Structure 1
Amino acid sequence: MEIIDIINKTNAFLVEEFEVAPESITPQADLKETLGLDSLDYIDLVVAIEGNFGFKVKPEDFQGIVNFQDFYDYVIARVKQKELV
């Protein structure tokens, strides 16, 4: 899967799942603030990632994720890792 496809797919499910305007999702925007995430929303986010990309997410994976670029980098790395298996 190409990087741009991963980003587009990620943005599509974030817009749908968290009901945010597509233009509010920019690489430097704060993930938690933009999506209005609370602790339960993180569970929804994990379920969405796992359902859309087919890999398991660990809670500690989110520790270094601050903005959307961090989030994209994480998803891209995991998808690429899965493709190698």
Structure 2
Amino acid sequence: MSTDIAAGNRTAILTHVRKTLVELFDLDAADITPEARLYEDLDIDSIDAVDLVVELKQFTGRRINPDDFKSVRTIDDVVNAVERLMQR
């Protein structure tokens, strides 16, 4: 893991989340903006969200509490949740 990511670099986290969403769900990277809403804009359902959390667990190397992601609605919310995980 690079030191940028270990330090919780938001750009690195956003880049990883974008790459993951493109690979897992065949989304267009241009649609994955910080303001994009997971369910409404990107059509990510609850099963997809579980897959995303599993991948983020591997990315962070940390256990993820589902409550950390309950209020996640946008890509920016995902980045914030991952950043908080990295700071623990």
Please state whether the residue corresponding to 2:83 is helix, strand or coil: helix
Matches within 5 A, 1:38-57: 38-57=45-64
Instruction: Provide the C-alpha distance between the structure 1 equivalents of 2:18 and 2:35, rounded to a whole number of angstroms.
Output: 14
Task: Report what 1:67 is aligned to.
Answer: 74
Deviations 1:11-49 (A, max 9, x none): 111111111000001111101233322232222111111
Structure 1: where are the runs of 5+ without partners? none
TM-score under structure 1 length normalisation: 0.80
Query: How far apart are residue 70 of structure 1 and its match?
Result: 1.0
| Cα RMSD (Å) | 1.5
Moved over 3 A (4+): none
TM-score with structure 2 setting the length: 0.78
Distance 1:64 1:40 in 2: 16
Could you say which structure has the higher helix fraction?
Answer: 1
**Structure 2 residues not aligned, in runs of 5+:** none
The number of equivalent residue pairs is 81
